[in-house]
Homo-oligomer: A and B are copies of this chain.
Amino acid sequence: MQLLEDRILKDGKILSGNVLKVDSFINHQMDVAFISELCKEFYRLYKESNVTKIITIEASGIGIACLAAQQFNVPMVFAKKSKTSNISNDFYCCEVESYTHNTTNKVIISKEFINPDDRVLLIDDFLANGKALLGLKTLVEMAGATVVGAGIVIEKGFQPGGELLRKNGLRVESLAIIKSMSVEDGISFI
C-alpha cells in the first residue's frame, strides 16, 4: 500500500537487530486518522469474508484492531498477557514467544468472547516470526471458531512468519512487506 510505504520511508527508523521503529505513527504515538485509512484497506480486502469479530493481542495491536472493528462494524477482542501461572477454566490459553522482548508470555482470551460460529479476522501491527499470530489462531481454533485470515500492517518479509503461516493455509494480507532493511541501505519493499 503506497500510502503506508511512503510513511514508513518518511518516518520509520531502522535500529540494529532488524528493529524498525514506527512509534511516531503506529505503536507509541498513533496517527489515528492515518491508521483509519489502513483499516479501510483491511475492510476492502476482507469485506466478502463475513467477519463477525476482530481479534488482536495487547498492547500495540489494540488501537489498530479497534479502528478495524469500526470498519467492519463488529466487536473487537484483545488477548491479554497473563501474569499469573494459574489460568482458570474460563479462559483459552496458549504460550507466545515475543521476538521484540525475547520473552514467553501466557496469552488468554475469556471463553465467553469467542463462539463456534464466529468468523475471526486477526489484526496486528507487525508480522516477524509469526508466533503472536499463531498463538491467536490457536486460541480461536480452541473455541471451534473460524479464522478467515490476518490483516497485518507491516510484515518483515525477510523473517519466516509470513511464509510459515501462508504454508499453513492462513490467508495473510500485509499492507507493507519489507524485503530488506539496514541502517546503511535503508528499506526496500516487496
Q: What is the interface of chain A, defined by CB distance below 8 A to chain B?
A: 23-24, 28-33, 35-36, 58-59, 62-63, 65-67, 69-70, 73, 75-78, 80, 83, 101, 103, 109-110, 112-113
Contacts and interface: CB of A to CB of B under 8 A. Distances in A.
A78 B59 contact: yes
Contact of A30 (B23, B30, B59, B76): B76
A182 B65 CA distance: 34
Given A30-B78, A32-B66, 20 more contacts: A24-B113, A28-B77, A28-B109, A29-B75, A29-B76, A29-B110, A29-B113, A30-B66, A30-B69, A32-B70, A35-B66, A58-B58, A58-B59, A58-B62, A59-B59, A59-B62, A62-B62, A63-B65, A63-B66, A63-B76
A69 B63 CA distance: 11
Contacts of A110: 23, 28-29
B29 A77 contact: yes
A53 to B, nearest CB: 8
5 contacts: A23-B110, A28-B110, A30-B66, A30-B77, A58-B58
A98 to B, nearest CB: 10
Contact of A32 (B58, B69, B101): B69
Given A59-B80, A62-B62, A75 B32 contact: yes
Most buried by B among A58, A63, A103: A63
Nearest to A72: B32
A67 B76 CA distance: 13
Contacts of A63: 62-63, 65-66, 76, 78
- Residue with the greatest number of chain B CB neighbours at <10 A, chosen from A36, A66, A78: A66
